[in-house]
Amino acid sequence: MSHKPIRTLLNANEEWAQSVIKDTPDFFARSATGQKPKILWIGCSDSRVPESVITASKPGDIFVHRNVANQFHLHDDSALSVLTFAIKEIGVEHVVLVGHTNCGGAMACIEAAKDRAANPGLSTPLTRWLSPLTALVQSLDLSACSASEALNKVVEANIIKQVDNICKSEPIITAWADPDAKKVTVHGWMYDLAVGRITKLVVRDAQA
Amino acid sequence: MSHESIETLLNANEEWAQSVIKDTSNFFTQTATGQSPKVLWIGCSDSRVPESVITASRPGDIFVHRNIANQFHLNDDSALSVLIYAVKVVGFDSSSNGYTSLTVVLVGHTHCGGAAACLKAAKDAAADTGASQPDIPLTRWLSPLIARVQSLDLSACSESEALDKVVETNIMMQVDNICKSEPITTAWADPNAKKVTVHGWMYDLSRGRIDELVYREAQA
């Protein structure tokens, strides 16, 4: 019973692989020789935001890091390793930080911000992970907002904040300071999952 | 010119969204009401292993965490948060009788650049003992896997055999870590908790095929 989703996935993988080979017989053999994606996607783990499906991309197109609430913490080795590898080994040209509507992580932070003063609660990996975003929520004035307006405001502020963090990271600062380095642009995007559409919020480049 | 790929992506998103609506007009509005994916996928950031494409899955099917070399470190808040969220917060439902369960798949893959980097670091360390690795995020991130590589006997292996062995060992190691983590040990100890199974998979990207290496569940 618990194997049902596994069998479905494995069968689907088999069919997909066969259809790819039928369509492009050397696709996988070429894939095995290396990867040269131009884009690093840093997004949310939310199942409704699979980057390659929503952008109709193929294997090889997008280098990906997904975590709860699309965070980029400056002390997080996981995210920093991905960014370092993407810029220095892979040579990506664009870093897109993608947030989305109806984000459960953002909702959790809104709740935590309300409770925080009253009840510090237990420290778990999840509460620690979300504590910078909870602090960001507390810095916003959401008093005049409905619940859904507040959530959208938090999701948007989160995207801007994570883009800021990325731009302050060593791999980006180094790339932007070096006139011989490959050009890297950082983008902040919002995915509205109620309509399936990405909109651009912010773009950052090396200062000329 | 360097924005070409960005515009391509955004245009493709627009076309995709339109085609989905044409096919299933309420797909997105339904999606917005919540998520209950069947599976948590912990895999590599490698562009050649997009979980939803290679399993022909749709938005809403798979909860995803991808990092360099599909690691699950027991002191990594990023991976632990995803697992906690998957086990305790999101409404996973993989059976028709309403009994909630979660399938965790830890997926490694052939031709892994992170694994190759570890092989190289281990070789460099062996050739030049006394020199320590630079203390930068990527090196710290790969240091558990580098240590494991150093414990393997790869002397009789060709370079590609060695890489395959490292990738496989890595998958087993990360599955072990997941099974030792608090969210899993707690769920397995509690008869009322969500039923959780953990699978270790290898994706052979030269064939496009996933093979199951190992499977773990609560002891009866």
Is residue A197 among the annotated active site residues?
no
Chain B residues within an 8 Å CB radius of A76: 77-78
For residues A123 and A142, what is the distance between their CA atoms, to the nearest angstrom? 25
Q: What share of chain B is helix, strand, coil (3-state, %, to 5)?
A: 45, 20, 35
The pLDDT of B36-42, averaged and rounded, is 91
Which chain B residue lies closest to A123 (C-alpha atoms)? B77
Of B16, B39, B56, which is closest to A5 when you measure between CB atoms? B39
For residues B62 and B152, what is the distance between their CA atoms, to the nearest angstrom? 33
Which chain A residue lies closest to B67 (C-alpha atoms)? A65
Q: CB B49: neighbour CB atoms within 10 A?
A: 28
- State which residues of chain A have pLDDT below 50: 1-2
Looking at every residue in chain B, the average pLDDT score rounds to: 91
Please name the residues between 11 and 70 in chain B that touch chain A, using a CB distance below 8 Å.
12-17, 20-21, 27-29, 31-32, 34-35, 37-39, 45-68
Task: Flag the least confident range among A101-115, B2-16, B120-134.
Answer: B120-134
Which chain A residue lies closest to B197 (C-alpha atoms)? A2
Per-residue pLDDT tens digits for B55-107: 999 999 999 999 999 999 999 999 999 999 999 887 655 444 445 789 999 99
Is residue A65 among the annotated active site residues?
no
Predicted local confidence at residue B96, as pLDDT: 43
Q: What is the DSSP string of A29-80?
A: HHHTT----SEEEEEE--TT--HHHHTT--TTSEEEEEETT----TT-HHHH
Q: Which two tokens stand for residue A18?
A: 């066969």
Domain ranges, ordered by start, for chain A: 1-34, 37-204
Predicted local confidence at residue B119, as pLDDT: 95
Computed from CA positions of residues B201, B204, B210, B213, in that sequence, does the dihedral angle turn out positive or negative?
negative
Helix (H) / strand (E) element for B17: namely: helix B4-23
Q: Which two tokens stand for residue B170?
A: 């890595």
Is residue A48 among the annotated active site residues?
yes
- Least Cα distance to B37 among B84, B97, B124, B104 occurs for B104
Query: Could you tell me the CATH superfamily of domain A37-204?
Result: Carbonic anhydrase (3.40.1050.10)
Is residue B103 less than 8 Å (CB to CB) from chain A?
yes
Is the pLDDT assigned to residue B141 strictly greater than 80? yes
- Least Cα distance to B25 among A199, A50, A194 occurs for A194
- For A70, A138, B16, B185, the CA distances from A156, given in Å and listed in that order, are 12, 14, 23, 36
Strands B209-217 and B195-204: antiparallel
The pLDDT of B26-39, averaged and rounded, is 90
The pLDDT of B150-163, averaged and rounded, is 94
Residue pair A94/A185 in contact (Cβ under 8 Å)? The answer is: yes
Of B28, B76, B137, which is closest to A195 when you measure between CB atoms? B28
Predicted local confidence at residue A124, as pLDDT: 92
ipTM attached to this prediction: 0.95
Of A82, A187, A197, which is closest to B45 when you measure between CB atoms? A82
Residue pair B199/B101 in contact (Cβ under 8 Å)? The answer is: no
Q: Do B62 and A130 touch (CB under 8 A)?
A: no
Q: Do B54 and A81 touch (CB under 8 A)?
A: no
Is the pLDDT assigned to residue B3 strictly greater than 60? no
Q: Which two tokens stand for residue B160?
A: 């590609």
With pLDDT > 70 as the criterion, what percentage of chain B qualifies?
Answer: 92
The pLDDT of B155-172, averaged and rounded, is 96
Q: Do B84 and A27 touch (CB under 8 A)?
A: no
Is the pLDDT assigned to residue B2 strictly greater than 50? no
Is residue A109 among the annotated active site residues?
no
Q: Do A65 and B85 touch (CB under 8 A)?
A: no
Is residue B199 less than 8 Å (CB to CB) from chain A?
yes
* End-to-end CA, chain A: 59
pTM for the model: 0.95
Is residue A75 among the annotated active site residues?
no
